[in-house]
């Protein structure tokens, strides 16, 4: 499970940085978190295709988080996408997107479903491979964070070993559940001889745009990787609070309180060219804090 950063800046594109967008990959499926302007170009640039992209989640309706969405949907249509697309976002987004389609007399050639986010927290998607929940954060307008959880899929089959012991592929589903195999001659093939431990559950929390607050801690406690915005450095803490944003030090405090294993920092203000002070300030509170760098995929 990994997250690829396509945009790490706030408000404006600046210093080669783009507005918010990330892609979380789980077992070969891609989920997009926010879709700022330039997302399509960033996908091209970093070789990400939308073939595996079935879900898009928009945290709130400030333009730097969704202005890339109409263009992306339009391109999917022009290129004759056939796979379904599910978009989750604030209720007003449905009409905005529909109007853009209607005025151009565009009828989408693929199944498209809009799912309005509820006010509070909710389970949005639940598949055998992963789940996505939303939770409210505190911003100037209604805003949600998201938790993506990778589920376990049983034990991992070792095909070569199965061949050695003569375990047929028709038994693989039962092997994944941990069963031993008994050959027609009555010999017991121990499960651990032909499988190994499967991937463990993993959780990634995307905390979107928010004030520094403990209000959503219950939703993000114990996550493997926590992404938190840090629009400003601590010297600008007053400005951060007035604009419902967070500083690098505060983001690190939140990650520490949440007992997160890894912290990614993003949504940097356009007033900063050099980002290393963000990393240094956060690392004083949360050692190992990393900047979310565009084009980089981070293991979760």
Contact residues for Zn ion, defined by CB under 5 A: 10, 62, 64, 209
Q: How far apart are CA 146 and CA 59, in angstroms?
A: 8
* Smallest separation, CB 61 to Zn ion (Å): 10
Q: How far apart are CA 232 and CA 210, in angstroms?
A: 12
* Smallest separation, CB 291 to Zn ion (Å): 17
- Between 209 and 281, name the residue whose CB sits nearer to Zn ion: 209
- Between 10 and 22, name the residue whose CB sits nearer to Zn ion: 10
CB 253 within 8 A of CB 212: yes
30, 64, 209, 234: the catalytic one is 64
CB 243 within 8 A of CB 227: no
Q: How many Cβ atoms sit within 10 Å of the Cβ of residue 284?
A: 12
CB 223 within 8 A of CB 148: no
- Between 61 and 122, name the residue whose CB sits nearer to Zn ion: 61
* Smallest separation, CB 95 to Zn ion (Å): 21
The answer for residues whose C-beta is within 8 angstroms of residue 127's C-beta and 6 or more apart is none
- Between 149 and 209, name the residue whose CB sits nearer to Zn ion: 209
CB 282 within 8 A of CB 288: no
* Smallest separation, CB 57 to Zn ion (Å): 14
Respond yes or no: is residue 180 known to be catalytic.
no
Q: What is the set of active-site residues? A: 64
């Amino acid at each position: 499970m990994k997250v690829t950063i396509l945009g790490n800046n706030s408000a404006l594109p600046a210093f080669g940085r783009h507005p918010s967008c990330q892609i979380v990959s789980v077992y070969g499926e891609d989920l997009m978190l926010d879709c700022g302007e330039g997302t399509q170009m960033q996908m091209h640039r970093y070789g990400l295709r939308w073939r595996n992209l079935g879900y898009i989640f928009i945290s709130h309706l400030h333009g730097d988080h969704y202005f890339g969405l109409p263009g992306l949907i339009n391109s999917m249509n022009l290129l004759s996408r056939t796979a379904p697309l599910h978009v989750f976002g604030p209720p007003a987004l449905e009409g905005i997107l529909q109007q853009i389609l209607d005025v151009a007399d565009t009828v989408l050639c693929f199944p498209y479903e809009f799912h309005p986010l509820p006010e509070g927290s909710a389970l949005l998607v639940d598949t055998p491979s992963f789940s996505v929940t939303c939770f409210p954060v505190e911003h100037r307008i209604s805003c949600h964070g998201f938790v993506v959880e990778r589920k376990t899929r049983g034990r991992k089959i070792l095909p070569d070993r199965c061949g050695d012991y003569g375990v047929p592929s028709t038994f693989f589903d039962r092997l994944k559940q941990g069963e031993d195999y008994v050959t027609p001659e009555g010999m017991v093939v121990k499960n651990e001889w032909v499988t190994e431990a499967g991937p463990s559950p993993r959780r990634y929390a995307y905390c979107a745009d928010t004030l520094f607050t403990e209000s959503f801690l219950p939703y993000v406690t114990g996550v493997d990787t926590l992404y938190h915005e840090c629009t400003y450095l601590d010297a600008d803490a007053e400005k951060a609070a007035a604009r419902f944003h967070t500083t690098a030090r505060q983001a690190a405090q939140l990650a520490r309180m949440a007992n997160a294993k890894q912290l990614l920092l993003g949504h940097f203000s356009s007033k900063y060219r050099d980002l290393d002070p963000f990393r240094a300030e956060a690392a004083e509170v949360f050692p190992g804090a990393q900047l979310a760098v565009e084009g980089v995929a981070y293991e979760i």
